[in-house]
Amino acid sequence: MIKLLVGFLVMVMNLLYKTRPYPRFYVLETVARVPYFAYLSVLHLYESIGLWRKADWLKVHFAESWNELHHLLIMESLGGNNSWIDRLLARTTALVYYWIIVAIYLISPKSAYHFMELVEEHAYHTYDEFLTEYAEQLKAEAPPQIAIQYYRDGDLYLFDEFQTSRVPESRRPTIETLYDVFIAIRDDESEHVKTMVACQSTNATTTIHSPHTAVFDPSQATTTNVPSKV
Ligand SMILES: [Fe+2]
Ligand SMILES: [Fe+2]
């Protein structure tokens, strides 16, 4: 069922957006945030009824949604949302997917994370192919201001927080052209895949911590995010 859901989404995207990359990425990024909203909603519910408290999971998933928000803002700055039909399709799909993922996460968190692992994997390959095909054109264009702010000049605390296999500040993308921006976005998708895989591990409830939590409290760290010198 998980593969079917992802497959349907990919099929629609391939059919409608073969020759329009920015609207395609706009729709992809609108839908890509939704599972993180669903995880956050269910985790908040568990906190509210006193069933389970894992503040770090909320932090990591919020940072993931914040990262996807910036992918979306970049696509909007490139004109990906200019057509009302694309906006309608993106938001309708997002709404449907939100409730589906809420239901799946309530029944099986592992399946919901597996779903997102597949979506993020697909996003990585989509951006990778785009980078190969449009390299020269992208290298000649300036990066949007929102990308400079998010990846380079702004507060990068939340940028570090979704990359659970990394030490904070260990990844700082170079942003000089639009090509660099898409490299950064593609690599973000790969970091999401790693985080989703980590969330599916059998001992995830004790091993998942936000990168900053692990640095300031090394006893909380997994072996991959312990910095050599604290
Ligand atoms: Fe994204
Ligand atoms: Fe993503």
Ligand 1 centre from 186 Cα, in Å? 8
Quote the ligand 1 centre to 9 CA distance (angstroms).
15
The ligand placed nearest to the CA atom of residue 190 is: 2
Three-class DSSP category at 93:
helix
Residues 6+ apart with CB under 8 A from 77: 144, 145, 146, 147
Structure tokens at 167: 């030490």
Ligand number with the minimum distance to the CA of 193? 2
Residue 68 Cα to ligand 1 midpoint, Å, equals: 5
Q: What's the 71 CA to ligand 1 centre distance in angstroms?
A: 5
Residue 120: CB atoms within 10 A of its CB come to 23
Domain boundaries, the chain: 2-213
**Span 2-213: which CATH code?**
1.20.1260.140
How far is 68 from 189, CA to CA, in rounded Å? 9
pLDDT digits (tens, 9 = 90+) for 178-227: 999 999 999 999 999 999 999 998 887 777 788 888 666 655 555 444 43
Expressed in angstroms and rounded, the spacing between residue 29 Cα and the centre of ligand 1 is 5
Q: What is the residue type of 34?
A: V
Report angle CA 98, 3, 59 to the nearest 5 degrees: 45
**191: CA distance to ligand 2 center in Å?**
9
What's the gap in Å between 31 CA and the centre of ligand 1? 9
Report residues near ion ligand 1: CB below 5 Å.
Answer: 29, 32, 68, 71
Q: What is the pTM of this model?
A: 0.89
One pLDDT digit (tens) per residue for the chain, 230 residues: 667 777 777 787 778 888 899 999 999 999 989 999 999 999 999 999 988 877 889 999 999 999 999 999 999 999 999 999 999 999 999 999 999 999 999 999 999 999 899 989 989 999 999 999 999 999 999 999 999 999 999 999 999 999 998 999 999 999 999 999 999 999 999 999 999 999 998 887 777 788 888 666 655 555 444 434 33
